[in-house]
Each structure stands twice: as structure tokens, then as C-alpha cells.
Structure 1
Amino acid sequence: MTQPTPEQVAVFRERVYERWRAEGRHDLPWRRTADPYAVLVSEVMLQQTQVARVLPKYEGWLAEFPTADALAAAPLEAVLRAWSGLGYHRRAVALKRAAETVTREHAGVVPRDEAALRALPGVGPATAAGVLAFAFDEPALYLETNVRAALIHDFFPGRDDVRDAELIPVLAAVLDRDRPRDWYHALLDYGYAIKREVPNPSRRSAHHSRQS
């Protein structure tokens, strides 16, 4: 599609925010913090993994490894044991390596810079954008499975093999740059709700992968 019009953007934002106010998942524990390390942990845990599987693990992980320095210093065996049940154990290894890099190169503080975030092991564009949006309230372009579902459902009806290159300009157009953290919480929940009501629109993405 072409760029959405200002009127389409306004209608879409109101639809997303209205549903979030009424049905949003406001009690998710990672939404109650802006600590960059805690946000990074949640973003890595949620990579290709459903919220229901992350919920029992997230707070226990932070209790055992409350900072990047603590995770960097922990034995790998303890890290893998704490990760058990989330699958894709290579993510735990990468997260520990990321913590080691943060400790060594950033004085234990997860960086605010996109390039520095993407240089961390296991951190790709979506994870870096998630940290920027949720920890720092930065208007990053955060494209993950629920966001894809929302955009494809509303802006690409009837289309298959929708490419991320087509979604990114739409994502940039609809982004509420005055409150990106709230916007992405709302947009994630809108996409989640859509997937429960209609056949998952993100399956019409050229980049679709199934969550565990």
C-alpha cells in the first residue's frame, strides 16, 4: 500500500489506544519497569516465545541475576538452569555474553545507543528497538510478530507475503512519537487481540516464524 493518510493514522491510533485502555495487558511485570537491563531480559526472553511461558521465569531470573554485572559474573550452568523451560538455550548464552559486554564496555549499564545495542550478542534490530522504546521511551521502529499482525490486518487486507520493507514505512507513519512506550504496549496488545479473533495475520508476512 501507499503511505497511510493522516486521517487513516488518526483512526488507527484511536482504535489501538481505545482497545488498550479497555483490554490492555497492563499487569505484565516487564511493563512495570524502565530499567534497561530488565527490559533487555524481557525482550530476549520473548523472542519467539509466548508470554505465558515467560511469565513464570522473568521475575525469578531478575531475583537471581538482578543486574548485568550479576549475570556476567554468574556461572553458565546457573544461567542455563534459570533459563530452563524457555527453550532456545542459545539465547541464554547470548544474554550472558551480552551482559559480559555491557559490564566490560559500558560500566554495567545497558547502552541507549542503537548501534551499541545491536553490537551486543543476541541483540538484533527488534530487540534493540524494544529496549530503546520500553526502557528509554525512544521512538524506535519496533517490528515484531504482534506488531506485524496489527499492521498487516489493518493496512494489508487480503495480501500475502507482505515484506518488512513494506511494513516499516507504515510503522513509522503510525508511530506516536510523543509516547512511544505507551504506543508500543498498546500496539502489541492490539496485535495480540487480533490474532485471537481472526486467522493470525502475521502468517501472511514473508518473514513469519512460529512462536514456541
Structure 2
Amino acid sequence: MGALWPEGAEPLDEFVSRLLRVGHELYRDLPWRYIDDPYAVLVSEIMLQQTQVTRVGRFWERFLEAFPTLDALAAAAVPDVLERWQGLGYNRRALALKRTADQCAADGRGRLPDSYEGLLALPGIGPATAAGVMAFAHQVPGVYVETNVRAVFLHELFPHEDKVSDKMLEPLVAAAAFHPAAAADPRRWYYGLLDYGAHLKATGVNPTRRSASYSRQSVFEGSRRQKRAWIVRRVLAAPEGVAGAAGRADLDRAEAEAARDGVDEALFASIVDDLVTEGFFRREGALLIP
């Protein structure tokens, strides 16, 4: 793997040794670190997608109190799972986590697969999430390209380049992760990268803007995503169901209170159709039922 290392860059041995020291100095003590439960690690990895670390802690603990095991999550009703997720945003993540639990329960395992390939076969688990679970729960090195890891490699190895693709980064992340000093303790290696990347962003440097995959997050207020979240909350708050017309009228009032235009019938119907298809709630006649 050494042959993949960029010509003229700091030698791989020195790079890994230095970043292990930097990571140790910047270490953040977070509740989901140094635990061996793959399910608890998976919940943290899913929650940390597109959500700040400072917001995740209390949600992670509350979620695990309600659903301490995969079997407990599989046995739970979707509205209960979504209720525990409220406030984190991107509710599709909660549904994917629930479907993963359902699939593991249906397979009779009651636990997550203990291989990268097995994890990838589950709903909503991509390469980074699978690699994260393997590294943090099983101490197995892998290619974990998360936003803060990406920031470190861009900052260190591509300081003057734009539009750097993950395909360019992945072999370098692999070369470092499988270096004997890093592979001896994958948790420590990746915790250090995550903390260094977070430090770079907190000090005003955001190398991820030079990534080919970088895009600014769209404004939430007034967006379709905001209206989706509002409708989900409204239906979950009514176990007996909400008439579609009443839900749309309530949303119109909420939009007016926020000094925004009302929601036309086609847009409301489109959002509801998506939410029903995705499994957030069901439709029975004119009622939307959690």
C-alpha cells in the first residue's frame, strides 16, 4: 500500500505516528466510545450522520434506554421509534434503523452481522457506517471515510487542490488505516482522525469544502424537508389519526404564523404520498394514521 502514498508527501510512517499523537492531544470523551456493543455503535453512527456531536449525546442515551437491543427495537412500533427520534431530523434514518432491526429479528439472529459485507447488506448501512461499526465495535481496520476523516486527509495531503473525490482519498485512507501502528488500535486511530477533523472545522478551517462531494446544506425553514417533518409530528401526535384536509389546514396555519405562504393541495398530497410510501404512517380512507 505504500506505493499509493502521494509523491512528495510526508512519509506514511511519520504521517501515522504524528496523527496518532495529534489525535491523542485532541481526544473528546464521548459516551459511545470504547464500547463493544455493535448495536449501540450503529445507533451512534446513524445519529451522527448530518447531525452535530453536541446534539447527539442525549438522543443516543434516550434511544438506547427505550430500545436497548436490536430485538427491543424490532418489537417496537414505528410511531414509538419516530417519537424517540424527534429533534434529530432526517427521520428516514430512524426508519432505516428500524428496518435493520426487523431484518435481523426475522433472520433469527437478534444481533448485527459481525462482518463488513454483512452490515452492508442491511437497510441504510453504507460503506462508511459499516466500516465505522467494524472499527469501533470490533477493532477491525477498514476504509472509514466520514466527513471529519475526509477533512483531515484533504488538509494534510491535498492542501491546495479543489474537487478532490473520495475515490482519490479512499486508497490513502486505506494505506494509513492498515499501517501497523494504526491497525493495532483502529478505535484510537479513527477517534483521533475524527477529533482532529472536528478541531480543524472549529478553528475556522473547513477542508471539506474542497471535496468533490461537498455541498452546502439547504435552508431548512420553509423547505419541503421542514414541511415533511411538521406533517410527521402532526400525525404522530394523533393516535386516532388525522384527516388529510385537517392536516393541510393546520399546516397552512403554521406556515402563516411563520410568515410563509400556504401549502397548495398538490404539494401537500405529494409529501403525504412520499411519507406513506416510506412507512412513516399509513392512509385509511381520508385518515392518516401513525
What range is the shorter-chain TM-score in?
A: over 0.9
* Alpha-carbon distance in 1 for matches of 2:69, 2:216: 30
Shift of 1:86: 0.5
Shift of 1:65: 0.3
Contact 2:34 2:187 in 1 (8 A): no
1:182 aligns with 2:215: no
For structure 1, which segment, 7-16 or 29-38, has the greater mean C-alpha deviation from structure 2 after superposition?
7-16
Contact 2:153 2:169 in 1 (8 A): yes
Which of 12, 17, 24 is equivalent to 2:20?
17
SS at match of 1:31: coil
* Alpha-carbon distance in 2 for matches of 1:121, 1:209: 24
Equivalent residue, structure 1, for 2:213: 207
Shift of 1:177: 1.5
Equivalent residue, structure 1, for 2:11: 8
Equivalent residue, structure 1, for 2:68: 66
Contact 2:26 2:192 in 1 (8 A): no
Shift of 1:40: 0.6
* Alpha-carbon distance in 1 for matches of 2:87, 2:15: 37
Equivalent residue, structure 2, for 1:144: 146
In structure 1, list runs of 5 or more residues that go unmatched.
none
TM-score by length of 2: 0.69
* Alpha-carbon distance in 1 for matches of 2:84, 2:136: 24
Q: Which amino acid aligns with 1:92?
A: A
Q: Which amino acid aligns with 1:46?
A: L
Identity %: 52
Contact 2:96 2:123 in 1 (8 A): yes
Contact 2:140 2:186 in 1 (8 A): yes
User: 1:184-199 residue pairs with structure 2 within 5 A?
Assistant: 184-199=190-205
* Alpha-carbon distance in 2 for matches of 1:106, 1:179: 32
Task: Rate the CA distance shift 1:82–1:23 in 2: closer, same or farther, 3 A.
Answer: same
For structure 1, which segment, 85-94 or 15-24, has the greater mean C-alpha deviation from structure 2 after superposition?
15-24
Task: Rate the CA distance shift 1:209–1:59 in 2: closer, same or farther, 3 A.
Answer: farther
Greater relative contact order (Cα < 8 A, sep 6+):
1
* Alpha-carbon distance in 2 for matches of 1:75, 1:147: 35
For structure 1, which segment, 51-60 or 151-160, has the greater mean C-alpha deviation from structure 2 after superposition?
51-60
* Alpha-carbon distance in 2 for matches of 1:178, 1:143: 19
For structure 1, which segment, 10-19 or 64-73, has the greater mean C-alpha deviation from structure 2 after superposition?
10-19
In structure 2, list runs of 5 or more residues that go unmatched.
221-290
How much is the aligned-residue C-alpha RMSD, in angstroms?
1.8
For structure 1, which segment, 138-147 or 102-111, has the greater mean C-alpha deviation from structure 2 after superposition?
102-111
Contact 2:34 2:136 in 1 (8 A): no
* Alpha-carbon distance in 2 for matches of 1:180, 1:148: 16
Contact 1:80 1:89 in 2 (8 A): yes
* Alpha-carbon distance in 1 for matches of 2:129, 2:59: 19
For structure 1, which segment, 45-54 or 12-21, has the greater mean C-alpha deviation from structure 2 after superposition?
12-21
Shift of 1:106: 5.1
Task: Rate the CA distance shift 1:210–1:56 in 2: closer, same or farther, 3 A.
Answer: farther
Shift of 1:104: 1.6
Contact 1:44 1:127 in 2 (8 A): yes
Which of 79, 96, 107 is equivalent to 1:105?
107
TM-score by length of 1: 0.93
* Alpha-carbon distance in 1 for matches of 2:62, 2:31: 11
For structure 1, which segment, 31-40 or 15-24, has the greater mean C-alpha deviation from structure 2 after superposition?
15-24
Contact 1:202 1:208 in 2 (8 A): yes
Task: Rate the CA distance shift 1:202–1:79 in 2: closer, same or farther, 3 A.
Answer: same
* Alpha-carbon distance in 1 for matches of 2:199, 2:57: 18
